[in-house]
Amino acid sequence: MELAAQRGGRHARGGTIQLKVGPDETSLPGALLAVSDTGVGIAKEDTERIFEPFFSRKPGGIGLGLATTARIVEAHRGIIEVASQVGQGTTFTIWLPRVA
């Protein structure tokens, strides 16, 4: 939910937010969650720091939302990635392993 909330504050007026959930169709057994928007995008230099605690470009942001999300994903042996293009939008992808 944090990712959707983050995206909701950054998509352009009239933009869209899309959630995709399903099994991973690559060689990694598990599940994928992708949160995409058609918003302003994130600069490359910011994507390198976006999961660091207290890093934020959002007015009034404290930089804990995405950092906390990343730590939760990692605690479950998952992977979180971000792909973004300024002016085009952003996609966060989370992979979580299958539990035996």
Task: Select from 28, 23, 10, 31 the least CA-distant residue to 91.
Answer: 10
How far from the centroid of its chain's Cα atoms is residue 52's Cα? Answer: 13
* pLDDT on residue 5: 58
* pLDDT on residue 29: 84
What pLDDT digit, counting tens, does each position of 12-46 carry? 566 899 999 988 777 778 999 999 999 999 999 99
Whole-Å CA distances, 67 to 30, 71, 73, 76, 95 = 22, 6, 10, 15, 16
What pLDDT digit, counting tens, does each position of 38-70 carry? 999 999 999 999 999 999 998 999 999 999 999
* pLDDT on residue 12: 52
Whole-Å CA distances, 68 to 22, 25, 39 = 23, 27, 22
